[in-house]
């Protein structure tokens, strides 16, 4: 493997930053993926069977998901049972950069031994750090339930709705990268060693839904799930189906927009109806108002609903699925979806107009870059070859 596999991409803001990824859950991997998108050299340490992240979801989707989560990374395949394993980890530990990890058994070999320059960022399952205070599951899938978000999703008189996407993991990964970069900067300015960071997977999602705790504290009660409506239930907002089967989302959060929306669907009589004319009245009569909206939208094709909404300056828009996203002119114009190794996936975000936005590298095969990584972290070519021959390292 040519040495340029680990060469910094100087056109990107994180060029020259070394990131080590050792994880079995998406949070740490997503933090590393964002770093890779922006030019960091990301080294995925994985066993012979590959990172567990290569097996996310059912078998039919695993390769596609890994193609997105693993893009831009380098794979170093290690055998933790070989005596040379510790020496390889020591070389990684001596690098300046970031280690993104969870509590996966493979990561324990590094967890208490990180060197003075490698910032240790652990994203652990909710409760895993204080099992004495958390008697429930410490699997990462439980994090969204612990964040408070699932108390707000689903019908008020029905089942709650669990988000099937790893929302807590991806939010935690985003927060972890930003916090890690802030810690590296603070350590550099203070001329000190970077301090380890620890995140429970629920913490980022709780912060992103910050109003939930603040309002519960102020009102002395927790808001409950309320279908597609905002929990406080005074704003017009829901999802409706048009006569041609399209889903349309509606939002009227302020009184002027609400008045224009009501006039659009029912004229002055509906806008002045005492059941709907004020936020307080709408809160008490939202089911009746939803029925009015559903009848009006359900009698018209999506094109007519959207045209009238533009003319009346109200907030109404289509609910896009993945196919709509790929084909939408705005998405195409901004190049928000790109092809990588024949697969379509989200582009690098945020978008820098003056910077190359191409994905730097396809997702790696298991051990694809092992030899190049060994040389990059200080092993002489003959040492690297010896590690390959003993099986301590495997080249894909």
Say if 219 falls within a structural domain: no
pLDDT score recorded for residue 2: 42
Task: Answer yes or no: do 147 and 275 share one domain.
Answer: no
**Rounded-to-integer distance, Cα 381 and Cα 379, Å:** 6
Those residues whose C-beta lies under 8 Å from the C-beta of residue 317, and which sit 6 or more positions away, are 248, 249, 306, 309
Do residues 278 and 316 both lie within one domain? yes
Range of the domain at 307: 236-324
Mean pLDDT of 304-331: 92
CB 203 within 8 A of CB 127: no
Question: How does residue 174 score in pLDDT terms, banded at 50, 70 and 90?
Answer: very high
Count CB-CB contacts under 10 A for residue 383: 15
Looking at the structure, tell me whether residues 116 and 12 fall in a common domain.
yes
Residues 273 and 190 in one domain: no
Confidence tier at 356 by pLDDT (50, 70, 90)? low
Task: Name the pLDDT band for 137 (thresholds 50, 70, 90).
Answer: confident
Mean pLDDT along residues 248-270: 93
With respect to residue 299, please indicate whether it lies within any of the assigned structural domains: yes
In a domain, 241, yes or no: yes
Between CA 48 and CA 206 the distance in angstroms is: 36
Domain C-terminal end among 324, 345, 378: 324
Q: Which of 305, 324, 343 is the last residue of a domain?
A: 324
Mean pLDDT of 180-206: 94
What is the reported pLDDT for 109?
64
- Clarify whether residues 98 and 197 are in a common domain: yes
Instruction: Note whether residue 240 is domain-resident.
Output: yes
The answer to the question of residue 231 being in a domain is no
Tell me the per-residue pLDDT of 55-106, one tens digit each, with 9 for 90 and over: 998 999 999 999 999 999 999 999 988 988 888 888 887 788 999 999 886 7
Q: How many domains does the chain have?
A: 2
Do residues 65 and 172 share a domain?
yes
Q: What is the pLDDT of residues 330-351, one digit of tens each?
A: 888 888 888 888 888 888 888 7
The CATH number for 241's domain is: 3.30.1540.10
Query: Are 203 and 248 part of one and the same domain?
Result: no
Is residue 358 one of the residues assigned to a domain? Answer: yes
Model confidence, pTM: 0.88
Where residue 40 sits, what CATH number does that domain have?
A: 3.40.50.10540
User: Does position 6 have pLDDT exceeding 60, yes or no?
Assistant: no
Helix (H, G, I), strand (E, B) or coil at 258: helix
Q: What local confidence, expressed as pLDDT, does residue 1 receive?
A: 37
The per-residue pLDDT for 112 is 53
Q: Domain ends where: 324, 340, 363?
A: 324
């Amino acid at each position: 493997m040519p040495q340029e596999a680990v060469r910094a991409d100087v056109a990107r803001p994180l060029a020259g930053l070394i990131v080590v990824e050792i994880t079995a859950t998406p949070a740490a991997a997503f933090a590393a993926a964002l770093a890779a998108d922006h030019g960091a050299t990301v080294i995925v340490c994985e066993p012979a069977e590959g990172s567990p992240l290569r097996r996310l979801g059912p078998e039919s989707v695993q390769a596609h998901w890994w193609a997105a989560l693993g893009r831009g990374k380098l794979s170093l395949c290690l055998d933790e049972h070989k005596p040379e394993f510790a020496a390889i980890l020591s070389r990684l530990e001596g690098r300046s950069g970031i280690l993104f990890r969870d509590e996966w058994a493979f990561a324990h070999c590094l967890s208490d031994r990180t060197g003075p320059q490698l910032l240790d960022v652990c994203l652990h399952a909710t409760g895993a750090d204080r099992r004495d205070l958390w008697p429930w599951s410490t699997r990462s899938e439980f994090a969204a339930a612990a964040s408070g978000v699932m108390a707000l999703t689903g019908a008020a008189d029905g089942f709650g709705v669990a988000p099937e996407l790893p929302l807590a993991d991806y939010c935690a990964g985003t927060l972890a990268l930003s916090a890690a970069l802030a810690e590296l900067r603070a350590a550099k300015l203070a001329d000190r060693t970077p301090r380890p960071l620890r995140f429970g997977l629920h913490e980022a999602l709780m912060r992103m839904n910050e109003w939930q705790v603040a309002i519960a504290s102020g009102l002395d009660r927790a808001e409950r799930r309320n279908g597609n409506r905002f929990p406080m239930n005074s704003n017009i907002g829901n999802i409706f189906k048009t006569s041609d089967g399209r889903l349309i989302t509606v939002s009227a959060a302020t009184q002027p927009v609400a008045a224009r929306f009501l006039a659009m669907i029912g004229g002055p009589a509906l806008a002045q109806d005492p059941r709907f004319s004020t936020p307080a009245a709408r809160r008490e009569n939202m089911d009746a108002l939803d029925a009015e909206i559903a009848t009006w939208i359900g009698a018209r094709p999506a094109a007519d609903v959207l045209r009238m909404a533009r003319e009346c300056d109200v907030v109404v828009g289509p609910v896009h699925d993945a196919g709509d996203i790929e084909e939408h002119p705005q998405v195409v114009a901004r190049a928000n979806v790109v092809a990588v190794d024949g697969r379509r996936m989200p582009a690098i975000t945020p978008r820098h107009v003056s910077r190359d936005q191409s994905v730097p590298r396809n997702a790696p095969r298991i051990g694809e870059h092992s030899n190049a990584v060994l040389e990059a972290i200080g092993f002489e070519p003959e040492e690297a070859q010896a590690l390959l021959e003993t099986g301590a390292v495997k080249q894909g």
